[in-house]
C-alpha cells in the first residue's frame, strides 16, 4: 500500500522540465548535467510513441541504428525528426521522493523552414554603438563534451534572411541590430551534422557621459548572484587622467589586487576618456554577500562613490523541490496516521463499498463456511448465554452475509465429536471462539483435544472475550492451558453485552475474512 501511495504522490509532485526546441534535421543535445551519474549506470527514458530505455553500455552499432550518441551525461540526437519529439528523463529511477535525481526534458521538433523553434531558442546579446561587439554561438544546446570521434567545425553565421554575416564588429552600428543565425557543424563517423541557434543582437546607442566620475553601476545597485559561480562587476568612469582610474574598496579597505582588473590606460590617448575597473568574484562565497563594495573615483576636483551589494538569486526549482518533499512527507505521515487510526473503518469500507478482498480470502479455497462459531467453557458465569450466541450467529448470517457453521445445526449426527468439529473447522475460513455459560455441547473437552491441531493449521482464530473472561485470563492458572495457547495465536474482540455495539461488529468483521456471498438483506435480526 505504502509504495503505491508513494508512486501516486511523486506523480503529482511538480518536476521542472527543460524545454528544448529544435529544427528538423538539426543535431540536438540533452545534457543531464546536474545528475551525478554517468550514462552507463544512468538510463535515459524516452516517452515517445514507444517507450524506450537507453543505457550508455549500448553498442556503437545500436546507437548508430537509432541515430543517437550516449556519452557521459549527454544524449545526442544526430538528426532530429518528428519521431524524436516527446518527453525524456534521465537519472536513476526509484520510489523514494528524491525526485531531484531525475531530470526531465521536453523536446519539440519544428519543420525545417519553420521559425517557431528558432525564435523560441533566441538568445539576446546587447552591444553598445561604436564599440566592439562579438556574437557567440550559445553553448547551452551544443555539445562541447568531447565525444570521441566527433569534431566541431568553425561556426558559420548568417542573417535571418540567409545573407552571410560576420560575428565580430570592431565598431558596431545601430543598423546591425537583428537576428543572427549561428550554424555549427560536426563531423561524426564520416557524416556532417549541424545545429543552428539564433542570437538576437540589440545595439544600444550610448549616451556619452559628459560629466567626470562614475556612470556605471548605479549607486545602491544590487546584483543577483549564485553562490559558487563567477561574477564580474564593471565600474565605468569618465576620467581626465590615467592617474584617476576608478578603484574598488570594501568596508574602508582596498579590494585585493587579485580581485580587480583595471583596463590599461595609455597616457597619450585623448582625454577625457572612459575607463573601467572590474571587480571579480571567482566563486561567490557567502562572505561576499554580507559586504558592501564601493567603487571610488577621485580627481583633484571631485570624489564620486557608488555602493553595490550582492544578493543570492532565488532558486525556484530547488525551493519547489524542497517544498514538494516536505508536502510528500507530511501527506505520507497524515495517511499513515489516518490509516492506523481508522484501519478498521478503512478496511471495512474498501471491502463493502469498493469490493476489495483481503489477500487471504481467495475465492477458490473451496471452503463451505466463512466461520465456525465454537464455544468454550468460561470458568465464571461471564460467558455468553444461549440467546447471546443466537444473536451473534443470526446477525453474522442475516445482516452481514456470512455463512456460519454451527455445531448443533450443521454437524452431522453420528460422527465422533472431535472429528466432526475438525471437519467443520476444515470447511471454515475462520474459527470464532465464544465463551459460554453454561457449558454447551460439544464443549471445552473437545477444544482441549484439538487445540494443537488448530494452532498447527494456522486457522484464523478470533476470540470473543467478555469483561469477566478477560480478568479471568489475566489471572494465570485459572484459564485452561489450551485456551491460553490459542488466545496467543488469535485476535480478540470484547463482548460488552446485548445488543452488541457497532464497534463490536466492526472489530469482529475486521478480523473475519470478507464474506464470500453478498449479504442477503440488510435485516436487523429479531433475536437481538
Ligand atoms: C564518468 O565517466 C568519466 C569518463 O568515463 C569519468 O572521468 C568520470 O569521473 C565519471 N564520473 C562519475 C561521477 O563516475
Ligand atoms: C547495460 O546496463 C544495464 C543496466 O546497468 C543492464 O541491465 C544491461 O544488461 C546492460 N547491457 C549490456 C549489453 O551490458
Ligand atoms: C510530455 O509531458 C507533458 C506533460 O508534462 C504531456 O502533456 C505530454 O503529453 C507528454 N508528451 C508525450 C509525447 O508523452
Ligand atoms: C537523495 O539526494 C541526496 C542529495 O541530493 C543524497 O545525498 C541522498 O543519498 C539521496 N537519497 C537517496 C535515497 O537516493
Ligand atoms: C599609446 O598610444 C600611442 C599613440 O596613440 C601608441 O603609439 C602606443 O602604442 C600606445 N601604447 C600602448 C601600450 O597601447
Ligand atoms: C569573496 O570571498 C572570498 C572568500 O571569502 C574571498 O577570498 C574573496 O576575496 C572575496 N572577493 C571579494 C571580491 O572580496
Ligand atoms: C556607501 O556605504 C557606506 C557604508 O558602507 C556609507 O557610509 C556611504 O555613505 C555609502 N555611500 C553612498 C554614496 O551611498
Question: Where do the structural domains in the chain lie, given as residue ranges?
Answer: 2-114, 121-206, 210-314, 315-356, 357-511
pLDDT at 412: 65
pLDDT at 17: 76
Q: What digits encode the pLDDT tens for the residues 408-455?
A: 777 666 667 777 778 778 888 888 888 877 666 666 667 766 777 777
- The reply to whether CATH 3.40.50.10140 applies to domain 357-511 is yes
If one counts every other C-beta atom within 10 angstroms of the C-beta of residue 219, the result is 12
Mutation choice for ligand 4 from 98, 99, 315, CB with most ligand atoms inside 8 A: 98
User: Topology of domain 121-206, per CATH?
Assistant: Immunoglobulin-like (2.60.40)
pLDDT at 13: 43
Listed in sequence order, the DSSP H helices in 220-354 are: 286-289, 316-341, 343-349
Q: What digits encode the pLDDT tens for the residues 125-163?
A: 889 888 889 998 877 556 566 788 888 888 899 998 889
Whether 285 is in the pocket of ligand 6, judged by its Cβ within 6 Å, is yes
Q: What does the angle CA 58 – CA 59 – CA 60 come to, to the nearest 5 degrees?
A: 120
Sequence-ordered strand ranges (E) for 57-207: 68-71, 74-77, 86-90, 103-110, 123-128, 133-134, 150-152, 156-159, 168-169, 178-188, 191-204
d(CA 209, CA 273): 9
Whether 268 is in the pocket of ligand 5, judged by its Cβ within 6 Å, is yes
8 Å CB contact between 490 and 433: yes
Return all residues near 188 (Cβ < 8 A) that are at least 6 apart.
69, 78, 147, 149, 150, 151
**Domain 210-314, CATH class in plain words:** mainly beta
Whether 38 is in the pocket of ligand 1, judged by its Cβ within 6 Å, is yes
CA atoms within 13 A on the CB side of 73: 13
Ligand 1 nearest atom to the CA of residue 38, by list position: 1
8 Å CB contact between 433 and 451: no
d(CA 100, CA 284): 24
Query: How far, CA to CA in Å, does 347 sit from each of 1, 344, 355, 366, 436?
Result: 12, 5, 10, 24, 30
DSSP structural state of residue 248: E
CA neighbor of 158 nearest in space, from 184, 140, 132: 184
pLDDT at 29: 86
pLDDT at 222: 93
Which long-range contacts (C-beta less than 8 Å, at least 24 apart) are formed by 335-339? 335/5, 336/2, 339/1
CA neighbor of 271 nearest in space, from 234, 304, 238: 238
CA neighbor of 109 nearest in space, from 90, 86, 89, 88: 86
Instruction: Judge whether 2-114 and 210-314 match in fold.
Output: yes
Which one is the CATH code of 2-114: 3.40.50.2000, 2.70.240.10, 2.60.40.10, 3.20.20.70? 2.60.40.10
Mutation choice for ligand 6 from 231, 257, 281, CB with most ligand atoms inside 8 A: 281
Phi-psi label, residue 486: left if phi above 0, alpha if psi -120 to 50, beta otherwise: alpha
CA neighbor of 489 nearest in space, from 519, 458, 445, 511: 458
Ligand 4: list residues with CB < 6 Å: 96, 98, 100
Ligand 1 geometric centre to CA of 281 (Å): 28
Ligand 2 nearest atom to the CA of residue 43, by list position: 4
pLDDT at 97: 44
Whether 55 is in the pocket of ligand 2, judged by its Cβ within 6 Å, is yes
pLDDT at 311: 92
pLDDT at 397: 84
Three-class DSSP category at 455: helix
d(CA 395, CA 393): 6
pLDDT at 94: 44
Return all residues near 329 (Cβ < 8 A) that are at least 6 apart.
97
8 Å CB contact between 238 and 272: yes
What does each of the 528 residues of the chain score in pLDDT, given as a tens digit? 444 443 333 444 445 678 888 889 989 888 876 556 655 566 677 776 666 667 667 787 888 888 888 887 788 899 998 888 888 887 665 434 444 567 788 889 998 877 777 777 778 888 988 888 999 887 755 656 678 888 888 889 999 888 999 999 998 989 999 999 888 888 888 899 988 888 899 998 876 677 889 988 999 999 999 888 899 999 999 888 888 889 999 999 999 999 999 988 887 878 888 899 999 999 999 999 989 999 999 988 889 999 999 999 876 666 677 888 888 899 999 988 888 888 888 888 887 777 665 544 445 567 788 888 887 776 666 778 888 888 888 888 888 888 888 877 776 666 677 777 787 788 888 888 888 776 666 666 677 667 777 777 777 888 888 777 666 655 555 566 667 777 777 788 888 877 888 888 888 888 888 887 655 444 444 445
User: Minimum-distance ligand to the CA of 39?
Assistant: 1
Helix%, strand%, coil% for the chain, nearest 5: 30, 30, 40
Residue 158, beta-bridge partner list: 164, 181
Amino acid at each position: 500500500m505504502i509504495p503505491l501511495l508513494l508512486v501516486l504522490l511523486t506523480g503529482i509532485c511538480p518536476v521542472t522540465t527543460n524545454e528544448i526546441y529544435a529544427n528538423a534535421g538539426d543535431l540536438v543535445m540533452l545534457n543531464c548535467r546536474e545528475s551525478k551519474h554517468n550514462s552507463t549506470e544512468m538510463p535515459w527514458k524516452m516517452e515517445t510513441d514507444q517507450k524506450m530505455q537507453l543505457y550508455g553500455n549500448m553498442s556503437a552499432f545500436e546507437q548508430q541504428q537509432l541515430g543517437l550518441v550516449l556519452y557521459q551525461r549527454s544524449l545526442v540526437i544526430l538528426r532530429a525528426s518528428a519521431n524524436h519529439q516527446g518527453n525524456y528523463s534521465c537519472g536513476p529511477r526509484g520510489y523514494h521522493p528524491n525526485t531531484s535525481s531525475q531530470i526531465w526534458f521536453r523536446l519539440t521538433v519544428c519543420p525545417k523552414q519553420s521559425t517557431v523553434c528558432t525564435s523560441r531558442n533566441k538568445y539576446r546579446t546587447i552591444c553598445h554603438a561604436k564599440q566592439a561587439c562579438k556574437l557567440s554561438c550559445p553553448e547551452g544546446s551544443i555539445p562541447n563534451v568531447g565525444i570521441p570521434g566527433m569534431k566541431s567545425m568553425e561556426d558559420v553565421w548568417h542573417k535571418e534572411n540567409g545573407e552571410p554575416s560576420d560575428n565580430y564588429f570592431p565598431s558596431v552600428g545601430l543598423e546591425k541590430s537583428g537576428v543572427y543565425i549561428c550554424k555549427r557543424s560536426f563531423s561524426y563517423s564520416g557524416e556532417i551534422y549541424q545545429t543552428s541557434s539564433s542570437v538576437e543582437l540589440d545595439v544600444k546607442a550610448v549616451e556619452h557621459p559628459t560629466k567626470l566620475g562614475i556612470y556605471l553601476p548605479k549607486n545602491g545597485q544590487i546584483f543577483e548572484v549564485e553562490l559558487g559561480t563567477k561574477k564580474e562587476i564593471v565600474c565605468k568612469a569618465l576620467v581626465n587622467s590615467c592617474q584617476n582610474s576608478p578603484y574598488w574598496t570594501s568596508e574602508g579597505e582596498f579590494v585585493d589586487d587579485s580581485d580587480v582588473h583595471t583596463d590599461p590606460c595609455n597616457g597619450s590617448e585623448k582625454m577625457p576618456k572612459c575607463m573601467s575597473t572590474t571587480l571579480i568574484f571567482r566563486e561567490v562565497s557567502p562572505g561576499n554577500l554580507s559586504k558592501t563594495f564601493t567603487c571610488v573615483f577621485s580627481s583633484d576636483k571631485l570624489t564620486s562613490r557608488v555602493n553595490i551589494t550582492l544578493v543570492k538569486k532565488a532558486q525556484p526549482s530547488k525551493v519547489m523541490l524542497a517544498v514538494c518533499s516536505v508536502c510528500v512527507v507530511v501527506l505520507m505521515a497524515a495517511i499513515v496516521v489516518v490509516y492506523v487510526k481508522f484501519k478498521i473503518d478503512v478496511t471495512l469500507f474498501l471491502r463493502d463499498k469498493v469490493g476489495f478482498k483481503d489477500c487471504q480470502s481467495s475465492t477458490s479455497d473451496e471452503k463451505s463456511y466463512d466461520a465456525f462459531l465454537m464455544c468454550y467453557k468460561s470458568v465464571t458465569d461471564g460467558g455468553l448465554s444461549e440467546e447471546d450466541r443466537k444473536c451473534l450467529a443470526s446477525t453474522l448470517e442475516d445482516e452481514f452475509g456470512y455463512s456460519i457453521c454451527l455445531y448443533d445445526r450443521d454437524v452431522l449426527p453420528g460422527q465422533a465429536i472431535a472429528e466432526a468439529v475438525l471437519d467443520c473447522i476444515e470447511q471454515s475460513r475462520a474459527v470464532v471462539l465464544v465463551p459460554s455459560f453454561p457449558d454447551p455441547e460439544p464443549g471445552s473437552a473437545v477444544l482441549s483435544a484439538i487445540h494443537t491441531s488448530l494452532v498447527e493449521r494456522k486457522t484464523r482464530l478470533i476470540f470473543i472475550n467478555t469483561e469477566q473472561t478477560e480478568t479471568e485470563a489475566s489471572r494465570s492458572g485459572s484459564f485452561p492451558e489450551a485456551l491460553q495457547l490459542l488466545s496467543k495465536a488469535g485476535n480478540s474482540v470484547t463482548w460488552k453485552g446485548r445488543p452488541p455495539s457497532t464497534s463490536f461488529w466492526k472489530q469482529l468483521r475486521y478480523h473475519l475474512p470478507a464474506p464470500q456471498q453478498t449479504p442477503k438483506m440488510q435485516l436487523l435480526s429479531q433475536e437481538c
